[in-house]
Structure 1
Amino acid sequence: MPIITKITQQKRSNERYNIFLDGTYAFSVDEEVLARNQLSKNKELTDFDIGEIQYEDEIRKGFNKALVYLSYRMRSEYEIVLHLREHEMGDACIEEIMHKLRQYGYVNDEDYAKAFVNTQLRTSDKGPRHMGNGLKEKGVAPQITEAILEQIRVEEWQERAEQVIEKVIKKNPKQSKMQIKKKGEDTLSRKGYSGSVVSNVLANLTIERDKDEQWLAIYSQAKKAHTKYSKKYEGYEYKQRMKQTLFRKGFGMEEIDRAIDQLEEEE
């Protein structure tokens, strides 16, 4: 059987040691593995012993890599598994490493999901579907995600959705109320709010504008339509095209006529 003839500490890593068998370098191990297996000079090792020691050391290396990865921020189990695979860890080693991480409380997908959702609530205006998709990408089980999101009151989602709509209104002073509602609906859907919340918010939406603000909206939209149709149509057909377009955008006929008259005067 091979005999340990020399053990030396690595220069670049004080916690790792080189093992020499029968005068030749054989492998290296972590300090903890060295101590746990009582490796010392003149100790005999079978091939089975060497295999077990190397396997144990591989787990130790992977565990340390996982701890470094976790030191930057919380991670889901799936993220850690991917990270270990990127470092060419085998599935058996990864399974052992994940077991140790769970045992010591370093990973917990439920805690991770709670932290993820709380961060999203504090720093973004996203809805539950968007958050759920984010957790799905991190490999969190659907039942965990559902349980966390169900703890948030519907009223809170509603309030967040209303805040999103308020931003849409402020950013679109030159659009009609109908256009703003459509844009608001698209925005809320894209941000992951449920259909029921979107419908409820839009049903109770009121957009208050003074006369000057409303005139800015109709005039801006009329000018865009004018640029499009004035080169192709004239007279009655031009006016009909203008009226149809502006009416579909949600403006009233009286303000439409006023805008068309204004544009004709400017020509």
Structure 2
Amino acid sequence: MPKISRITTQKKHKDRYNIFLDNGSGEKYGFSVDESILVEYRLRKGMELEDSTVNVLIQKDTLHKHYTLAINFLSYRMRTKKEIRDYLVEKEVDEAHISKIMEKLAAERLIDDHEFARSFVRTRINTSSKGPNMVKQELLQKGVEEAFIIEALEMYSFDIQFEKALKLAEKKLNANSKKSFRQQIQQMQGTLMQKGYSGDLVKEVTSELANQKDDDAEWASLVKQGEKLLQKHQQKYSGFQLSQKIKEALYRKGFTIDLINTFLDEYLEEG
């Protein structure tokens, strides 16, 4: 039966130890263990170890190293059960070890999908412009149960959604100020839907923005685009044809018929 002939501390990892064995034919490196296993099994020089004990120690140390992998992965931020399991699978950890690690992490409350969902929603509310539908999809992709997600999203109230969506919409309108108000609204609505806001909320935001419509800015935008169209078509068309060409183009850009007619009355007469 081999005996422990020497125990040394690893140079790069001071909490790990190399165990050397001698079975009567000279000393050889046997295996390495974490300090916790060294203490638990009271490993010491001269101690005899059966082969079965050596195998147990190696398995236990392997499990400890894999558990440490999971702890390090958790050290950067909270993780869901699915994220931890996927990470361990990627690291080629045995399924038996994964199950034990997951049980231990849950027992130590280091993984908790319920709390993860609440924390995730709070973070998204405070740091992003994403709506609840997008947040829900993110959580589903991370493997969180839908019941946990629904409960967590209760803190994302309609008032909070409206405030964030309106701020995003106003920013979008300012960026597209050269376009007609209708075009700006359509693009804004698409943006809000893509961001995960509901149709009802988008309607509320649209209604609010309609009250803020700047008629002077709309007229200035139409004049700018109308003048470009005049320069483009007036050498080829005149009279009714020119009027129709400009009217169709401006209507496609989202301007109202009344505003277009006003422009045509003023600018074609001047022409």
- Contact 2:117 2:149 (8 Å CA) reproduced: yes
Mapped contact 1:177–1:207 kept (Cα < 8 A) = no
Partner of 2:11: 11
Shift in alpha-carbon separation, 1:3–1:243, aligned structure 2, 3 A? same
Aligned to 2:30: 26
Q: Distance in 2 between matches of 1:51 and 1:266?
A: 97
TM-score normalised per structure 1: 0.87
1:134-187 CA deviation, whole Å, 9 max, x = no partner? Answer: 222322222221221134322322332222222222222222221122111101
Residues in 2 aligned to 1:231 and 1:98: alpha-carbon distance in whole angstroms:
76
Contact 2:131 2:197 in 1 (8 A): yes
- Aligned-partner SS, 2:29: strand
RMSD, matched Cα: 2.7
Q: Are 2:233 and 2:242, in contact at CA under 8 Å, matched by a contact in 1?
A: yes
1:128 is aligned to 2:132: yes
Q: 2:114 aligns with which of 107, 110, 114?
A: 110
Q: Which runs of 5+ in 1 are unaligned?
A: none
Indicate the larger mover: 257-266 or 193-202. 257-266
Q: Does 1:238 align with 2:242?
A: yes
1:218-241 deviation digits (Å, cap 9, x = unpaired): 123335655765687554333213
Range moving further from structure 2, 111-120 or 215-224 = 215-224
Q: Name which of 142, 153, 156 aligns with 2:160.
A: 156
| Distance 1:182-1:43 versus aligned 2 partners, 3 A rule | same
Q: Which has the larger displacement, 209-218 or 142-151?
A: 209-218
* Equivalent residues of 2:181, 2:218 under 8 A apart: no
Deviation >3 Å, runs of 4+: 207-212, 223-235, 257-267
The superposition leaves residues 171-220 of structure 1 with CA deviations (integer Å, 9 ceiling, x where unpaired) of 22222221122111101111011122223332444253555312222123
Matching residue of 1:181:
185
- Aligned equivalents of 1:192, 1:233: Cα separation in 2: 46
1:7, 1:41 within 8 Å by CA — same for their partners in 2? Answer: yes
Distance 1:27 1:263, change over 3 A: farther
The answer to whether the 8 Å contact 2:121/2:156 transfers is no
For 1:55 and 1:228, the matched residues in 2 are separated by 80
Name the aligned partner's letter for residue 45 of structure 1: L
* 1:183 partner amino acid: Q
TM-score, normalization by structure 2: 0.85
Q: CA deviation at 1:79?
A: 2.4
**Structure 2: which 5+ runs fail to align?**
none
Instruction: In structure 1, give the amino acid aligned to 2:130.
Output: K
Name 1:93's counterpart in structure 2.
Answer: 97
The change in CA–CA distance for 1:241 and 1:48 in structure 2 (over 3 A counts) is farther
Q: 1:41 matched to which residue of 2? A: 45
Equivalent position amino acid for 2:6 in 1? K
Deviation at 1:252, TM superposition (A): 3.0
2-structure distance, mates of 1:209, 1:227:
28
Q: Which of the numbers 51, 57, 62 marks the counterpart of 2:61?
A: 57
* Matched residue type, 1:14: K
**Matched letter for residue 172 of structure 2:** V
C-alpha distance 145-265 of structure 1, shift in aligned 2 (>3 A): same
Distance 1:199 1:232 in 2: 43
**1:88 to 1:226, Cα distance in 2 relative to 1, 3 A:** farther
Match for 1:12: what amino acid? K
Number of residues paired by the alignment? 267
Cα distance, 1:125 vs structure 2:
1.2
Deviation (angstroms), 1:115: 1.5
Distance 2:184 2:87 in 1: 44
